[in-house]
């Protein structure tokens, strides 16, 4: 059976006691999501090109896929402006902003781990 992200984050289909942790890691996992979060955490909405520049050498395809997943998970908003050329801005939702404390704790844990090696 292949990995299904949607199955992993659906605790009805995954009744393990650690389902919530698996769901969290599935939603936050991926090579670029933490970096996208870091780029957006300033609170200022960013355009696709601005995010891509901050994350070089990410491809357009990878960035698009990660942004879509994060939007689907309600971590960020995508606002499309009806202008030519097209203008799209991304920003964190309230749920996305609520990750701040988690990332601070992970950063502190990571520093402790590195120092003990």
Say if residues 60 and 1 touch (Cβ distance below 8 Å). Answer: no
**Higher model confidence: residue 2 or residue 70?**
70
Listed in sequence order, the residues at least 6 apart from 67 whose beta carbon sits closer than 8 Å to its beta carbon are 36, 48, 51, 76, 78, 90
Question: And the tokens for 4?
Answer: 């299904």
**Please, what are the domains in the chain?**
1-30 (no CATH), 31-116 (1.10.10.10)
Question: 2 pLDDT band (50/70/90 cuts)?
Answer: very low
Say if residues 110 and 104 touch (Cβ distance below 8 Å). Answer: no
Q: What is the predicted pLDDT for the residue at 70?
A: 95
Q: Is the pLDDT of residue 7 over 60?
A: no
Tell me the average pLDDT across 13-25: 75
Q: What is the predicted pLDDT for the residue at 26?
A: 84
For residue 59, the 8-state DSSP code is -
What's the pTM?
A: 0.83
């Amino acid at each position: 059976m292949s990995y299904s992200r949607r199955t992993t984050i659906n605790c009805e289909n995954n009744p393990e006691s650690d389902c919530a942790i698996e769901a969290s890691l599935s939603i936050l996992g991926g090579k670029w999501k933490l970096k996208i979060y870091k780029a957006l955490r300033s609170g200022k909405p960013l355009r696709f090109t601005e995010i891509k520049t901050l994350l070089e050498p990410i491809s357009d395809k990878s960035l698009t896929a990660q942004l879509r997943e994060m939007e689907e998970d309600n971590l960020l908003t995508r606002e499309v402006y009806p202008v030519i050329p097209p203008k799209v801005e991304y920003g964190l939702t309230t749920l996305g902003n609520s990750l701040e404390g988690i990332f601070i704790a992970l950063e502190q844990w990571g520093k402790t781990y590195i120092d003990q090696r």
